[in-house]
Amino acid sequence: MSRLIALLCLLPALAWAAPSQLRIQGSNTLGGALVPALVQGMLQAHGATAIELRPGELDNEWVIRARDAQDDPVRIDIAAHGTRTGFAALAEGRADLASASRMIDAGERKRLSGLGDLRSAASEQVIALDGVAIVTHLDNPLRQLTLEQLAQVFSGQVTRWEQLGVAGGEIHLYARDGRSGTFETFDSLVLRPQRLRLSAQAKRFESADALVAQVVADRQAIGFSSLGTLHPAHTLAITAGDGPAMAPSRALVASEDYPLSRRLYFYLPAQPTPYARSLAAFAQSSAGQAIVAAQGFVAQQIVPVAVAPLPDQPPTYRRLADTAERLSVSFRFQPDSALLDNKALRDIQRVAGYLRAAGKLRGSVVLVGLSDRKDTPGRAALLSRLRALAVRRALARQGVEARQVMGLGDALPVAGNAQWQERLRNRRVEVWVDRSASE
């Protein structure tokens, strides 16, 4: 009898030690809370029961155990030690899916070519949007910085708050660790364009929550973190090039106009495991996107947004703002191309679905193409219109008949023009819908 009791006591431990049906590694931003929540939502949607989440062996690791619809055991392992670790685990066969808070780079793509082209639309899936927010103590009176000032601060060229026009003494820098996709995004958008490196005086954190907690407690602090982990910290508006100062609001992150907007990804092999495929599909669904929003990130669901007309906008754009609402998405393109990028391909379906539900498939949509600055007169206007026409064709295949297509060239920049990343952000197509139009 004692042996039987001992065996029964061992059964739960053995179940937790069972082989994993899905191994996810990568971003701490995603893996800290969003990925576990999506996994649990996916399991519930597929009829699983007895779903239980436990911490793993190390910090930022999780084990999820459940019984599937056939009452078979399911185990899913999540490790969130940084975006780079996810791609490394895929390459070494230790992960079935990588979560990433930045796009896969050329070297990683090449190393993982044996798993297929991870930049294909099926493999590279944007599951959420986020903003890298610049955070300070609540008592800090500073309200905005340019990207150039931000680079000078975090590289150590500017070391005192007085150099930025406010009192405060020495600036204390807080940054994510080198494996973090959040840091790599900040590095690529802020430091590297200025050919600068992060100051050696910056205190580094693996955990976004821990970083923000330190900023909140330090009156001299400045740091950066995900929009989903801000808590009570004060955020700064950021100016990029000729664009206006923008705070990390959900509307500006949804349209990717905010200068430090970023995409959050799942990367799957060309032949994914069934659970990896199911999780990616669930993350793209309405139920999955609702979880994205509930976890503090920006979902990709389409909503109309009222935009106030401003004096410095082109007259046609101001008239549009008076009579129409802008949808919460901007279509963007592959580098040096009029081809829609992977996110835009899915957004075409989302926009068509929204218009269909609203009864506005025909005659209510205005597409506004915008461009980066060009040296040749008229070229920016031409390219912006061509990109808007490409979106019109893609929407037409979904049953959407646009009322008007316009190309406004470089009239409304959201970034500078010196770096390729800035030019890519300025190349976009906005979708506007008449307020009163309906079928």
- Render pLDDT for 259-312 as a digit per residue (tens, 0 to 9): 999 899 999 999 999 999 999 999 999 999 999 999 988 999 999 998 888 888
What is the arithmetic mean of pLDDT over 332-344? 89
Does residue 151 carry a pLDDT above 70? yes
Does residue 9 carry a pLDDT above 60? no
Q: Are 363 and 437 in contact (CB under 8 A)?
A: yes
At the top level of CATH, the class of 2-127+263-294 is alpha beta
Reduce the DSSP state of residue 23 to 3 states and report it: strand
Strands 324-331 and 237-239: unpaired
Least confident span in 88-102, 140-154, 345-359, 425-439: 425-439
CA 124 – CA 116 distance, rounded (Å): 11
CA 348 – CA 334 distance, rounded (Å): 15
The amino acid present at 328, given as its one-letter code, is: S
Quote the pLDDT of residue 7: 44
Does residue 173 carry a pLDDT above 70? yes
Quote the pLDDT of residue 6: 47
pTM of the entire structure?
A: 0.85
Quote the pLDDT of residue 112: 98
Quote the pLDDT of residue 178: 86
Quote the pLDDT of residue 18: 65
Fold (CATH) for 302-434 = 60s Ribosomal Protein L30; Chain: A; (3.30.1330)
Mean pLDDT of the chain: 91
Does residue 114 carry a pLDDT above 70? yes
Domain boundaries, the chain: 2-127+263-294, 130-254, 302-434
CA 233 – CA 208 distance, rounded (Å): 12
Model confidence band, residue 163 (pLDDT cutoffs 50, 70, 90)? very high
Q: Are 299 and 292 in contact (CB under 8 A)?
A: yes
Q: Write the CB contacts of 405 (distance below 8 Å, at least 6 apart in sequence).
A: 366, 367, 369, 385, 388, 389, 392
Q: Which architecture characterizes domain 130-254 according to CATH?
A: 3-Layer(aba) Sandwich (3.40)
What is the arithmetic mean of pLDDT over 379-400? 96
Model confidence band, residue 15 (pLDDT cutoffs 50, 70, 90)? very low
CA 126 – CA 254 distance, rounded (Å): 12
Tokens encoding 396: 């037409």
Q: How many residues does the chain have?
A: 439
Quote the pLDDT of residue 231: 67
Reduce the DSSP state of residue 96 to 3 states and report it: coil
Q: Which residue has the higher pLDDT, 130 or 108?
A: 108
The answer to whether 2-127+263-294 and 130-254 have equal CATH topology is yes
Quote the pLDDT of residue 17: 57
Reduce the DSSP state of residue 144 to 3 states and report it: strand
Phi–psi pair at 430, nearest 5 degrees: -95, 150
Quote the pLDDT of residue 387: 95
How many CB atoms are located within 10 Å of the residue 189 CB? 25
